[in-house]
Amino acid sequence: MAGLHGEDEEGCRPEDWPAGTTPQVAIPEPPALAASAFAEGRPPGPYLNWLFVDLNSYFASVEQQDRPELRGKPVGVVPMLADTTCCIAASYEAKAQGVKTGTVVADAKRMCPNILLVEARHEIYVEYHHRIVEAVESCLPVTAVMSIDEMACRLLGRERPLLAALELGRKVKARIQAQVGPFLRSSVGLATSRYLAKVASDMEKPDGLVALTLDVLPEALRRLTLRDLPGIGAKTEKRLNDKGIHTMDDLLKLNCDQSGELWGSVWGGRLWHWLKGEDFEMSETEHLKSISHSHVLAPEMRTAEKAWAVAHKLLHKAAMRLRTHKLWASSIGLAVGFSVPRNQNAPVSRFGVPTRGWHHEIRLSECQDNQTLIGALCRLWAEKPKGQGYDEPYFIGVSLNGLVPDRLHSLNLFDSLDNAKSRTKLLEAMDLLNQKYGMSTLAPATMLAAYKAAPTRIAFHSIPDLF
């Protein structure tokens, strides 16, 4: 859940389970029996509340659907054609040879000498996304779009009995292939909570259909690893291990209070309820806590001047997202990775580049306007290390943190209400022009040198119609 992270985040771990260990649902009776039982007042079996659709190897599958010459071949989708970058998606033919999301291109070529590398085309992935949503909505309404390749649908009334829900899952999968393309395979998860439906969709890939009903839930969860749960990555797993939690059984033995203490936040309590099968949604007060954009520079862009232009563009994109979500930033962060000669024994980044990194963050009065944010970025840029070993930036990241929603925003004591309203209207007008005619319509001149160097990428928790 991604995030935030590679294509699909891509949850392909459970597919590596030994045959027969993935929780399965018995072949159901014809769906008409479920409707009949419903009409007669007989309980038609377990009930479910959510259907979760997860497209398999989405970026690579779109490429194979759109380009017949790629079908049946190992494909790696990359942000740029360079050995130092990494695969943001891999077809199942490539995955069979060890390539996965996040694999450095140089390593992918060693693992799979016949891999076909394709530069990402994010506009076409968004186009296919909207077609997929239309296909799903021809079967049942989409309640929430979770990412570019995931969506959740709440089940109601006659859709909730197990047999009816299974038939609806099969219908959704078939409709996507019929209306969008046969290479767009999907895995569908069914469960009593949206979180568990996501877990179920990851259990069988590609082309799976798994239902986690309450009667099979405890045993099914015990067969998972901690990393199979959305929200638990490598760092979180290590933190849990350090606190004595090594298996799902360890996690499931905790009570609600212990789970909250383990995570140190309300997330622990929520997770405890979700893993029990309880169905509740996030509070309406939930909002993004940070917005960030980052970019690995192509070799020809690894100079201070061009890296500064890229930093400007990343901030421009982040600021537009900030205003779209009606949020205000209370701090800004800048991260720069510098490549160094291999003979200096520097740590090697996940992109295969020997590197030394630098990061700094400064506080702001709550703001969302470009002028204030650019001024803060200038101050951060002036503080970055200089001199030998810091003259070849290869990675830039900009983050807006400590986000506050409109309703909780505090006006600056030194800013009049009229000035604030005028600036807000100006920003809205600028954003509308950029949305309609392209990001470079109204932008800092210093950004334009990087316009093509840092193209729009898809953030996996949002669909970038703006860009």
Distance CA 30, CA 47 (A): 17
Q: Which of 45-49, 138-142, 405-409 has the highest mean pLDDT?
A: 138-142
Greater pLDDT, 426 or 326: 326
pLDDT tens, position by position, 332-358: 999 998 887 766 666 666 555 667 889
Architecture of the domain delimited by 1-214: 2-Layer Sandwich (3.30)
Q: Tell me how far the alpha carbon of residue 175 is from its chain's centroid.
A: 24
Residue 422, pLDDT above cutoff 50: yes
Q: Which of 353, 450, 340, 455 is nearest to 86 (CA)?
A: 353
CA distances from 119 to 106, 110, 236, 440, 449 (A): 15, 19, 31, 22, 21
pLDDT at residue number 244: 92
Q: What is the CATH T-level fold of the domain 290-450, as seen in this structure? A: Dna Ligase; domain 1 (3.30.1490)
- CATH class of the domain defined by 226-275: mainly alpha
**Average pLDDT score over residue span 104-127:** 92
Q: Is residue 173 predicted with pLDDT exceeding 60?
A: yes
Q: Using pLDDT thresholds of 50, 70 and 90, give the confidence band for residue 407.
A: confident
The DSSP-derived string for 310-345 is HHHHHHHHHHHHHHHTTEEEEEEEEEEEEE--GGG-
Helix (H) or strand (E) holding 129: helix 122-137
How high is the pLDDT of residue 36?
A: 40
Confidence of residue 211 (pLDDT cuts 50, 70, 90): very high
Altogether, the residues listed in the chain come to a count of: 467
Closest CA to 54 of 99, 2, 110: 2
In angstroms, the CA 326 to CA 323 distance is 5
**Type of residue numbered 288:** L
User: What one-character DSSP code corresponds to residue 409?
Assistant: P
pLDDT at residue 428 above 70? no
User: What's the CA dihedral at 136, 142, 146, 147 to 10 degrees?
Assistant: 40
As a whole number of angstroms, the distance between CA 317 and CA 189 comes to 34
Name the more confident of 424 and 273: 273
The region, left, alpha or beta by phi > 0 then psi within -120 to 50, assigned to residue 157 is left
- Provide the pLDDT for residue 38: 43
Decide: pTM greater than 0.75.
Answer: no
Domain range annotation of the chain: 1-214, 226-275, 290-450
* Angle in degrees, CA 374, 379, 381, rounded to 5: 90
Q: What is the pLDDT of residues 9-47, one digit of tens each?
A: 333 333 333 333 333 333 333 334 344 444 444 445 689
Q: Which residue has the higher pLDDT, 333 or 86?
A: 333
Q: Which residue has the higher pLDDT, 430 or 460?
A: 430
Instruction: Label residue 133 by pLDDT band (50, 70, 90).
Output: very high
- 56-70, 92-106, 268-282: range with lowest mean pLDDT: 268-282
pLDDT at 140: 95
Helix (H, G, I), strand (E, B) or coil at 95: helix
User: Mean pLDDT, the chain, as a whole number?
Assistant: 80
pLDDT confidence band for 267 (50 / 70 / 90):
confident
Residue 361 predicted with pLDDT over 90 = yes
- Mean pLDDT of all residues in 271-295: 77
Inter-residue contact 330 to 363 (CB < 8 Å): yes
Distance CA 362, CA 334 (A): 9
pLDDT (mean) for 459-464: 44
pLDDT value of residue 294 = 87
Q: Are 315 and 373 in contact (CB under 8 A)?
A: yes
Q: Quick one: pLDDT band at residue 233, thresholds 50, 70, 90? A: confident
Tokens matching residue 157: 């009334």
Residue 29, pLDDT score: 38
pLDDT in the model for residue 420? 52
52 in Cβ contact with 201 (< 8 Å): yes
